[in-house]
Amino acid sequence: MKPRHFLAFSLILLMPVMAYAGAAQKPIIDGYMAAAKAENAAFSGFSADRGKAFFLAKHDASPETPSCTTCHTADPTKAGQTRAGKDVAPMAVSKTPDRFTDAEKVEKWFTRNCQSVIGRACTAQEKGDFITFMASL
Amino acid sequence: MESNSSQMTPATVPVWDIGVRIFHWALLAAVFVAAMTGFFGSPDSLQIHLIAGISISLLVLFRLIWGFSGSTYARFRTFLFSPVKVRERIQEMRAGRHTRYIGHNPLGAWMIFALLASLIFIVCTGTVVLGGVFKQGPLAFITSFATGRFVQEIHQILAFGLVGLIGLHLAGVAYETVFGKEKLISAMISGNKPAGSNVPAPRFAPARPIVALIAFIALGMAGTTGVASFASRPGLGVPTAAIDPLYAKECGACHFAYHPSMGTAALWDGVLSHLDQHFGEDASLPDATRAQLAAYLKENSSEHWDTRIAHVLATANPKEPLRFTATRFWTRMHREIPDQVFASKAVGFKGACNACHSDAKTGLFAPQNIEIPEGARL
């Protein structure tokens, strides 16, 4: 086999795997998509830009945790740290591929962190935007 | 027997053989280290204290063997004096008279036995403390924390007693040096004393170093093997089961998972009942998960264990009953550590016990396993 052929052949073999890695978060996004449509009839899709703004925004529900960046750092490709000193793996899917793949875990943390930071539950649109942003990095 | 001919009498006679002299000065060093670490040490000097204690045990073991196999004046039989002799000696001292003994005089001899006995008691009580309080060593499997704490008081009283005995011993040496014109300190270095005595010399005995060595190795090995086999048994009331994986996952997400034996049932109940307001954060969990954790923590709370941490953290601070770091014990133990150290990235907060206590996950908190991480040191 010539090297060029070998490369092409490998790429073909790898394609399903690569597609899968991108799609690992799809079921959860789809779930939030349906919920967002139910919440708001005018909903027209998630946006990474809105997700980024939401991630960086400052809130005043709690002086200890004013923002998602308090623990996840402003650069989601970097590891963060909890208030109690424990490292948190990067939120960017490119760095931590199994992010947003376990629906129960995702809901548990949205419930907690939205309550801690914003003082209310997040909407389905905010959640979907957030994940879309993290998957885009 | 003593020679009466003045030409035959050498200027000096050998009294303290090399075994006695090395024993004496090595014991002095070991007792000094044990006393300094015991009276003034911090938890991290416990290891040195233990090494000093083990050295003292081995030295005393050697001396007991040498008391039967050393040269004449090393042997116990040459300085066994009845209380009557001791009384006579005291009366003599009062009257300003002086009988010269080549070896120990009766009062000095009693002091030697008192020192040896006191050291044996101190080593034994120390082993009980090590077993009961720290759950280490040969008695850990059998000694409760309460026993360890109680015996700790005795260990301390005995240690003060030993300091008193050493003071008297030094006073005796000073008295002999000044009033008896005996150069006792140089005799303990060179081993020799001027000849001439007004009490008959004891029956001559040669040193038997090979016998002593064999006895020392045999008893030492038997002792070490026994100690090691007892020490390998699990400590009384020490948790050994692995941490429940669900608990480790859920309660180890933001900080290390505190060992269940650190908290009372009341503390765990309080924490689990207010997970939505968890020290300024929402840590809420689905009810089913929470119930599972509650059952696990209740079954393994500090009431079920006899470790030091289970006892010392059990008295909650009424102002902040859910924090280990608010207890009197904790604040006292960590009062010298500046706030910046806890706030540093390498630690995080006061409750990140595992950053400095490498065995925090097991709930053991041994004094030997404390080290402030490098990045946090000022």
Give the CATH number of the domain where residue A95 resides.
1.10.760.10
Mutate to test the interface with A, among B256, B271, B277, B281 (most CBs of A within 10 A): B281
Q: Does the pLDDT at position A20 exceed 90?
A: no
CB contact under 8 A, A84 and B253: no
Q: Which residues of A9-38 are buried (b: 16+ CB within 10 A; e: fewer)?
A: eeeeeeeeeeeeeeeebeebbebbbebbee
State the residue range of the domain holding B39. Answer: 2-231
Q: What integer pLDDT is reported at residue B180 of this predicted model?
A: 86
Quick count: other Cβ atoms within 10 Å of Cβ B371? 12
Mutate to test the interface with B, among A116, A118, A120 (most CBs of B within 10 A): A116
**Is B347 among the domain residues?**
yes
Q: What integer pLDDT is reported at residue B8 of this predicted model?
A: 55
Mind telling me how many Å the CA of A85 is from chain B's nearest CA?
4
B128 shares its domain with B277: no
Mean pLDDT of B203-225: 97
Three-class DSSP category at B13: strand
CB contact under 8 A, B281 and A83: yes
B142 shares its domain with B253: no
Least CA distance to B346: which residue of chain A?
A: A85
**Is B327 among the domain residues?**
yes
Least CA distance to A119: which residue of chain B?
A: B282
B256 shares its domain with B110: no
B17 shares its domain with B155: yes
B119 shares its domain with B153: yes
pLDDT tens column, B266-293: 999 999 999 999 999 999 999 999 999 9
Please tell me the least confidently modeled range out of B59-68, B78-87, B93-102, B232-241.
B93-102
d(CA B146, CA B131): 11
CA angle, residues B166, B170, B175, in degrees to nearest 5: 145
B198 shares its domain with B313: no
Mean pLDDT of B185-198: 93
B144 shares its domain with B196: yes
CB contact under 8 A, A85 and B355: yes
pLDDT tens column, A82-93: 999 999 999 999
Residue among A85, A86, A112 whose CB faces B282 most closely: A112
Q: Which positions in chain B touch A64 (Cβ < 8 Å)?
A: 280-281
Q: Does the pLDDT at position A21 exceed 50?
A: no
Mind telling me how many Å the CA of B241 is from chain A's nearest CA?
24
B242 interfacial to chain A (CB closer than 8 Å): no
CB contact under 8 A, B276 and A84: no
A94 interfacial to chain B (CB closer than 8 Å): no
d(CA B334, CA B327): 11
Q: Considering chain B, what is the average pLDDT of its residues?
A: 95
Interfacial B residues in 123-142 facing A (CB < 8 Å): none
Domain boundary among B180, B206, B231: B231
pLDDT tens column, A85-114: 999 999 999 999 999 999 999 999 999 999
Quick count: other Cβ atoms within 10 Å of Cβ B24? 14
Domain boundary among B206, B231, B256: B231
Angle between helices B209-231 and B46-69 (to 10 degrees): 140
pLDDT tens column, B110-150: 999 999 999 999 999 999 999 999 999 999 999 999 999 99
Least CA distance to B276: which residue of chain A?
A: A112
pLDDT tens column, A33-87: 999 999 999 999 999 999 999 999 999 889 999 999 999 999 999 999 999 999 9
Q: Does the pLDDT at position B62 exceed 50?
A: yes
B28 shares its domain with B118: yes
d(CA B271, CA B280): 12
Tally of domains within chain A: 1
Q: Does the pLDDT at position B57 exceed 80?
A: yes
CB contact under 8 A, B254 and A111: no
**Is B20 among the domain residues?**
yes
Say which CATH number the domain at B135 has. Answer: 1.20.950.20
Q: What integer pLDDT is reported at residue B4 of this predicted model?
A: 46
- Name the band, by pLDDT with cuts 50, 70 and 90, for residue A4: low
B276 interfacial to chain A (CB closer than 8 Å): yes
State the residue range of the domain holding A125. Answer: 3-136
Beta carbons of B79 and B104 less than 8 angstroms apart: yes
B201 shares its domain with B260: no
Residues ≥6 apart with Cβ < 8 Å to B286: A108
> Residue A87 carries which DSSP code?
E
A67 interfacial to chain B (CB closer than 8 Å): no
Residue among B280, B283, B352 whose CB faces A85 most closely: B352
Mutate to test the interface with A, among B282, B325, B345 (most CBs of A within 10 A): B282
E strand or H helix at B12:
strand B12-14
Residue among B255, B285, B345 whose CB faces A84 most closely: B255
Residue among B282, B345, B348 whose CB faces A84 most closely: B348
**Is B236 among the domain residues?**
no
CB contact under 8 A, A113 and B282: yes
Tally of domains within chain B: 2
Q: Which positions in chain B touch A113 (Cβ < 8 Å)?
A: 282
pLDDT tens column, B88-107: 999 999 998 889 999 999 99
B130 shares its domain with B183: yes
Mind telling me how many Å the CA of A124 is from chain B's nearest CA?
19
**Is B237 among the domain residues?**
no
B69 shares its domain with B140: yes
Interfacial B residues in 346-365 facing A (CB < 8 Å): 347-349, 351-352, 355
CB contact under 8 A, B276 and A115: yes
Q: What integer pLDDT is reported at residue A9 of this predicted model?
A: 55
Could you tell me if the ipTM is greater than 0.90? no
Q: What integer pLDDT is reported at residue B13 of this predicted model?
A: 93
Domain boundary among B184, B199, B231: B231
B57 shares its domain with B135: yes
